[in-house]
Amino acid sequence: MRTDITKINERTPWQGLTEGLQMFAGGTSRLFATGEWRTNTPVLIEDKCRQCLLCVPVCPDSSIPVLEGKRGAFDYDHCKGCGICASVCPFDAIVMKEGIEP
Amino acid sequence: MKRAKAIRERMSGNEAVAFAIRQVNPDVMPAFPITPSTEIPQMVSAYIANGEIDTEFVPVESEHSAMSAAIGAESAGARTMTATSSAGLALMWEELLLAASNRLPIVLTLVNRTLSGPININCDHSDGMGARDTGWIQIYAENNQEAYDNYIQAFPIAEDPRVHLPVMVCQDGFITSHAVENIELLEDGPVRDFVGQYEPEEFLLNPGKPVAVGPYSISAYAMEAKKAQEDAMEQSRAVIAEVAARFGELSGRQYGFFEEYRTGDADYIMVIMGSAAGTAKEAADQLREEGWKVGVLKLRVFRPFPDQEIAEALKNCRAAAIMDRCESYNGCSGPLGMEIPAALYRNKVMIETADYIYGLAGRDFTVEHAREIFAQLRDAADGKIPAARHAYVGLREQ
Amino acid sequence: MSTGAAENYNLKSMLSRPERLAPGHRMCAGCGATIGVRAVLRALHEEDRAVIGNATGCLEVSSYMYPYTAWEDSYIHNAFENAGATLSGVETAYRALRKRGRLPESEHFKFITFGGDGGTYDIGFQSLSGAMERGHDMVYVCYDNGAYMNTGIQRSSATPMFADTTTTPAGKCSAGKVQYRKDLTAIIAEHHVPYAAQTTFTRDFTDLHRKASKAIYTEGACFLNVMTPCPRGWRYETSEIMEICRLAVETCYWPLFEVDHGKWILSYTPKNKLPIEDFLRPQGRFKHLFKPENEHLLALFQEEVDRRWEDLQYRCAQG
């Protein structure tokens, strides 16, 4: 009964929805892009980044992935552009750019 | 299924249900005390304390929390039940809807008691009737035997994959719950085999297979979900009948959506639910002796509502009295007084009906009352008097 | 009995744990609640499974909007006032199924439920108190943003005095909320649960992580009260959340402390306690307090903060 959410949308007939609207899967929200909410966009200046990772836990949108102890590129599909990461960076390695594009 | 051995006993309705719980040994039971259902969690607690069963009892701080914890436990994969009455059921109301919409096969044993106010501890059906649109299957019992038998059938109905809905098993407060009567019990083994092991396919505690329960839903999905829930209620009709047939083979006791007592050739039929059906049957027996053709239709399954079957059962009588142990404050009748005429009309059965309110807050309903109602039915059918509308039985008047 | 000793904290290794809250939820930009949730869930050991509970509120309507769940673990939302009771049921089912051999021995589940301050201090208080008193092996996490944010910033019993909310609007005849806030952490500690703590976000999240880890790995009912600022309701720039949290702690508006098996412990004492104005000034909800005629209200606020801070210091000195 595991759910394939690509088969569920606003045109799905009632027989095609999951029982009790339960979701038999985890983390399906990854398929929903919230990046388009942005009015400002964080941009990483890689030369300045010292990989202190202080920007990672302050992200409300889990949009700074960590791989092998290092932060990766911003997940622009989901980043909402709140600017917390830029304000906590001790090395000014993140700047906020106006608009949705990095 | 092989016929099981009968054990003859004497028990109250609460004792009978507690005994059935002991036999089923559910995984989890959250409950909160309220008269007159309190004895059930007390007896279960004693069974646990004595090592007879190992159900996890959760002594919650309210009925709202009882149903909330039941929803948590059932979602987590545990066979779960609770017991309550009256205000306890009213406090659960929000959660009753969630148990049903989350499609959780919880079983609730309801000992019917009036709702306040004034506060009163005696029987009527205002608690169960207040929950009639919450999406629960509702099965009512006439006596301790039926309370026991209905409880055992509740889990196989609720847990059937075609259904996955909660079931409320109702018995009348004090009249059934506290009165000691003869009963035929089944042995533990056959009951356990009949109910079976609970093996849900998806549940919160299934390692590596996460489940999310209770979403926010936009309008694009919510109406479809409600239709699916309604469809499950519709599907439950067949399952209730199948389970009753299986139970009949096991016990020798036959159950349908309702019992037809001497209705075959009856001119006048009383439609009634719960313990007062016994009183109605006694009146019918007396009147039959006196040469009248009268009978009783005792409704057992109120949700899903067997509208076509009721219409079929009543179509050949001259008039039917519809008995409500509950006010609806709609200015016309009690709930059955609305639903049964609707069932007749939809099925083009145009017999005379009369509707009565009886037994509120434990008011006695006597054989004499029932005889008088049959007499009124006859006179109404003969056109001598108008059919009773929203008439209170046994009420003092100026 | 596990005493839940806090694990050694290393930001880098903790952040290397798999993310248990997926992106794509609909919380506002800059929301404090999900920062708090992520920090709590990071304290779960990788090999442990979890069932997450959630009271109705912003977090719930935004994190599981059908068919999109942000939760990688099993998750249950039931209603507004019953997150405590609901997770009690889940935890009881776990014990029942384990006892009956219906779950693999090798699998271990932890139970964590999140409720906002409305669902925790107010409408869910009875359910929470019941769950704590019964001692279910679970953690109740209040993400306290000091008002009913989901319904549009109405006052709760966690709202600070004088806050301008939509049901305590500041106006010609009103200086905002009249009452001071309920001290829920102390109230739950007085249930004599094994562990209750108050925390918020600090630079590297050590305090929150340590407390979450203790709460999750201490057997019995544990409680965390996490201040999670709300930029909408508090009216500050979304980027400034960490500074707001720092000021809450440095002014002693939101002291960091824990009550571990009955022992009251201050987690942090500011070297120079800052005046309460420093915390209030950046927030639009307190703007009216900075009119010249309202100076006495600031003094009242300060007095209450001082009184509570002294009281807490006294309790912690007693141990």
Against a cut of 0.90, is the pTM above it?
Answer: yes
Residue B205, chain A, CB below 8 Å: the answer is no
**B146 and B73 in a common domain:** yes
Q: Which chains touch A (3 or more CB pairs under 8 A)?
A: B, C
**Residue A19 and residue B103: Cβ atoms within 8 Å?**
yes
**Residue B220 and residue A10: Cβ atoms within 8 Å?**
yes
**B201 and B64 in a common domain:** yes
Ramachandran area for residue B252 (φ above 0: left; ψ -120 to 50: alpha; else beta): left
Last residue of a domain, one of B235, B251, B267: B251
| Residue B258 in tokens | 């309702």
Mutate to test the interface with C, among B32, B48, B61 (most CBs of C within 10 A): B61
Domains of chain C (ranges, CATH numbers): 11-318 (3.40.50.970)
Residue A84, chain C, CB below 8 Å: the answer is yes
Which residues have a Cβ under 8 Å from the Cβ of B251 and sit 6 or more positions away? Answer: B3, B4, B6, B149, B184, B186
The parent domain of residue B32 ranges over 6-251
| Number of domains forming the structure of chain B | 2
**B288 and B185 in a common domain:** no
Residue that is written with structure tokens 């059908």 in the block? C66
Angle formed at CA B87 by CA B84 and CA B89, multiple of 5 degrees: 45
**B68 and B17 in a common domain:** yes
**Residue A80 and residue C63: Cβ atoms within 8 Å?**
no
Q: What is the CATH number of the domain that holds B313?
A: 3.40.50.920
Which residues have a Cβ under 8 Å from the Cβ of C204 and sit 6 or more positions away? Answer: A54, A57, C11
Of B210, B211, B225, nearest to A17 by CB-CB distance is: B225
Q: How many Cβ atoms from other residues are within 10 Å of residue B91's Cβ? A: 18
pLDDT of residue C53: 98
Residue B164, chain A, CB below 8 Å: the answer is yes
Q: Does C292 sit behind a cis peptide bond, omega within 30 degrees of 0 on the bond before it? A: no
Complex ipTM value: 0.97
CA distances from B209 to B72, C24, C70, C180 (A): 17, 20, 15, 45
**B263 and B217 in a common domain:** no
The domain spans of chain A are: 1-31, 33-102
**B205 and B283 in a common domain:** no
Write out chain B residues lying below 8 Å of A20, CB-based.
101-104, 164, 213, 225, 229
Residue A20, chain C, CB below 8 Å: the answer is no
**B97 and B40 in a common domain:** yes
Domain boundaries A33-102, corresponding CATH code: 3.30.70.20
Of A15, A21, A26, nearest to B221 by CB-CB distance is: A21
Q: How far is C240 from chain A (nearest CA, A)?
A: 7
**B288 and B173 in a common domain:** no
**Residue B397 falls within a domain, yes or no?**
no
Write out chain A residues lying below 8 Å of B220, CB-based.
10
**B130 and B165 in a common domain:** yes
User: Chain A 25-64, CB below 8 Å of chain B: which residues?
Assistant: 25-26
Average confidence (pLDDT) over C190-195: 98
Helix (H), strand (E) at residue C249: helix C241-250
Q: How far is B205 from chain A (nearest CA, A)?
A: 12
Does the pLDDT at position C3 exceed 60? no
pLDDT of residue B2: 86
Angle formed at CA B44 by CA B38 and CA B48, multiple of 5 degrees: 145
Does the pLDDT at position C4 exceed 90? no
Q: What is the CATH number of the domain that holds B241?
A: 3.40.50.970
Of C30, C39, C205, nearest to A82 by CB-CB distance is: C30
pLDDT of residue C5: 52
How far is the C-alpha of B262 from the C-alpha of B264, rounded, in Å?
6
**B329 and B183 in a common domain:** no
**Residue B1 falls within a domain, yes or no?**
no
**Residue B132 falls within a domain, yes or no?**
yes
**Residue B382 falls within a domain, yes or no?**
yes
| Residue B1 in tokens | 């299924």
**B293 and B235 in a common domain:** no
Residue B187's closest CA among B41, B55, B46, B9? B9
Ramachandran area for residue C49 (φ above 0: left; ψ -120 to 50: alpha; else beta): beta
pLDDT of residue C310: 98
Q: What is the DSSP letter of C218?
A: B
How far is the C-alpha of A40 from the C-alpha of C238, rounded, in Å?
12
Write out chain B residues lying below 8 Å of C75, CB-based.
210-213
Q: What is the pLDDT along chain B (398 residues), one digit of tens a residue?
A: 789 999 999 999 999 999 999 999 999 999 999 999 999 999 999 999 999 999 999 999 999 999 999 999 999 999 999 999 999 999 999 999 999 999 999 999 999 999 999 999 999 999 999 999 999 999 999 999 999 999 999 999 999 999 999 999 999 999 999 999 999 999 999 999 999 999 999 999 999 999 999 999 999 999 999 999 999 999 999 999 999 999 999 999 999 999 999 999 999 999 999 999 999 999 999 999 999 999 999 999 999 999 999 999 999 999 999 999 999 999 999 999 999 999 999 999 999 999 999 999 999 999 999 999 999 999 999 999 999 999 999 999 99
Last residue of a domain, one of B198, B217, B251: B251
Of C76, C96, C130, nearest to B65 by CB-CB distance is: C130
Write out chain C residues lying below 8 Å of A30, CB-based.
22-24
Angle formed at CA C69 by CA C68 and CA C73, multiple of 5 degrees: 155
Residue A4, chain B, CB below 8 Å: the answer is no
Of C12, C74, C241, nearest to A84 by CB-CB distance is: C241
User: B-side interface with C, Cβ within 8 Å?
Assistant: 27-28, 30, 54-56, 58-62, 64-66, 68-78, 80, 94-95, 98, 204-208, 210-218, 221
Write out chain B residues lying below 8 Å of A23, CB-based.
211-212, 215
**B134 and B75 in a common domain:** yes
Residue C30, burial from CB neighbour count under 10 angstroms (0-12, 13-18, 19+): buried
Last residue of a domain, one of B251, B276, B309: B251
Residue C23, chain A, CB below 8 Å: the answer is yes
